[in-house]
Amino acid sequence: MELVEIWATCIALALLVYALADGRSLGVCMALPLLVSNDDRRAAVRHAHSPWLANEVWLFLGLGAMSMAFPDGCGLLFSALFLPFSLAGVALLLRHITLWRYRDGPESTHDVWWRYVVVASLCASVAQGIVLGALVQGVTLENNLYAGGAWDWLTPFSLACGAALAVGYLQLGMAWLIRRTEGDLQAQLYTLCGRCAKSMLVALFAVTLWATLKVPAIAERWITVPQFIILFPMPALVLALAKVLFWGLYHRYELFPYWGTIGLGIASFIGAGVGVFPFVVPYSLTLYDVALDQNTLQAQTWQGVALLGIALVALVRRMWARSSMERESIGPGVRSQN
């Protein structure tokens, strides 16, 4: 494996970990309107608030590494997707602020702030999905410069991707809460999670089919021989994971809905990656077109290792602080994570 491919793999892994970790938190926040009482909402929020900074470490690592190894490609993507990137960043910041105000503010304001938490989380989730959809549908370049308009990213397909990702995050958040709750709240979440899981699978199938029909490069990867034979295990894996998810929901096994959803998220991420690899700017510039030269990339690797070390130290400290906080009582209907 070449150094360029190692960098690309590390970036993909960092973004995947972010999507699973912060997607869980965003999903918990988006589930608040579905919970009956304010006590249930406050109990759920305790599982969405504390890991926020730790989650964002992975996003900063992924985007930072991309700007270090593939600066030209990163610049082109930000030029094409500046508005949805900005919306996602602002919404994540507002999610943090509103979550903090809801959790620690005066009780008289709780009924207002939890609604803002939901709106900010929904906007962040949809904006991230729009970015993904815009990448899958491709970026217009001329002479290696962005040649599209400010709103080229806004299409029915990208909006569908935004909605699908929001549903996926919601499912992940509710499956996580099932593991951390008990009693009536947990029973309510089992019912809600079953309905959301069906919506998630329908959205996943619809977006996958749409992408295959819309983008010739993806269709060539997935439905032509011999690629079809090589990639056939992926749909079979998705069906197996869906069965695990619904089996766990039916038999009320706490771990299976969560890990089944995690598996579906990873499979979806790999499927999207298979469709666009090796492009950094789909479908014009590959990893090798926009990567730094070999000597510079080797020097950047040591800087990247140092950055990773600092980030991991910050992450461990954050998780240690979180563990200390959760030794305290955390409210009705919710179990401690220890």
For each of the domains in the chain, give its residue range(s) and CATH number, in order of start: 3-325 (1.20.1630.10)
Name which of 279, 284, 277, 287 is nearest 142 in CA terms. 284
Read off the pTM: 0.88
226: three-class secondary structure by DSSP: coil
Q: Going residue by residue through the chain (338 aa), what tens digit of pLDDT does each one get?
A: 688 888 888 899 989 989 998 899 899 999 999 887 888 888 788 766 544 456 777 888 888 888 888 888 888 999 899 999 999 999 999 998 888 888 877 777 778 888 999 999 999 999 999 999 999 998 888 888 888 888 999 999 999 999 999 999 999 999 999 988 888 888 888 999 999 999 999 999 999 999 988 888 888 877 777 767 777 788 889 999 999 999 999 989 888 999 999 999 999 998 888 888 888 888 888 888 888 888 888 887 887 787 777 777 766 766 666 555 554 444 455 555 44
Q: Cα dist. 276→78, 179, 211 in Å?
A: 17, 35, 11
**Helix (H) / strand (E) containing 281:** strand 279-281
